[in-house]
C-alpha cells in the first residue's frame, strides 16, 4: 500500500498535479516508511516534526534524506529541485514566502547528502514544520 501510494505521489509531484490533501496523504505514508528505514527514535522524530531538527544526528540525517527523496526534492544530480519545492511550498505559504524560502534554502550545500538533507529540512521548517504540513 505505502509503495503504491508513494509512487502515485511521485508522479503527481513530477507532473505538478497534486492538492494539499494528496500531499498530506503522501506525507502520512512516507513518514512511517522513513521511520522504519532509518530507525529514528520517537523523541527525535517528534522534535523533527516540530521543526527542532538536530542536523548533526545521523538518524535525523537519514530520516531527512529519506523524506526528501520520497518527494523528489532533489534532481538527479543531488541538487535541490526548485520546481518541486515551489509546488509543495505554494500549498502552505504565499508566493512572497515561497520566494524567501527558495532564496534562503537553495544555497545550502554539503558534500554529505545526508547532512545537506537535514540542513535543508531545518531551513524549510522555518516556514512550515512537518506537523504543520501534515495537519494543515
- Domains of the chain, with CATH numbers? 20-134 (1.10.238.20)
Q: Which of 121, 95, 127, 90 is nearest to 108 (CA)?
A: 121
Say if residue 118 is exposed, middle or buried (CB neighbours under 10 Å; 0-12, 13-18, 19+): buried
* Contact assessment for residue 91 and residue 102, using Cβ atoms and an 8 Å cutoff: no
**What are the pLDDT digits (tens) for 26-48?**
899 999 999 999 999 999 999 99
**What are the pLDDT digits (tens) for 76-120?**
888 888 888 998 999 999 999 999 999 999 999 889 999 999 999
CA dist 77 and 97 (Å) reads 26
Say if residue 57 is exposed, middle or buried (CB neighbours under 10 Å; 0-12, 13-18, 19+): middle
pLDDT, residue 2, reads: 56
CA dist 41 and 63 (Å) reads 10
Amino acid at each position: 500500500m505505502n509503495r503504491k501510494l508513494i509512487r502515485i505521489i511521485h508522479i503527481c509531484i513530477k507532473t505538478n498535479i497534486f492538492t494539499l490533501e494528496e500531499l498530506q496523504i503522501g506525507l502520512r505514508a512516507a513518514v512511517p516508511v522513513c521511520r522504519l528505514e532509518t530507525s529514528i527514535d520517537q523523541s527525535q522524530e517528534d522534535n523533527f516534526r516540530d521543526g527542532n531538527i538536530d542536523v548533526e544526528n545521523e538518524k535525523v540525517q537519514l530520516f531527512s534524506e529519506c523524506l526528501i527523496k520520497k518527494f523528489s526534492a532533489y534532481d538527479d544530480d543531488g541538487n535541490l529541485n526548485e520546481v518541486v519545492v515551489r509546488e509543495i511550498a505554494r500549498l502552505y505559504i504565499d508566493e512572497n514566502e515561497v520566494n524567501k524560502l527558495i532564496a534562503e534554502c537553495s544555497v545550502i550545500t554539503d558534500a554529505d547528502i545526508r547532512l545537506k538533507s537535514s540542513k535543508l529540512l531545518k531551513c524549510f521548517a522555518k516556514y512550515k514544520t512537518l506537523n504543520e504540513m501534515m495537519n494543515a
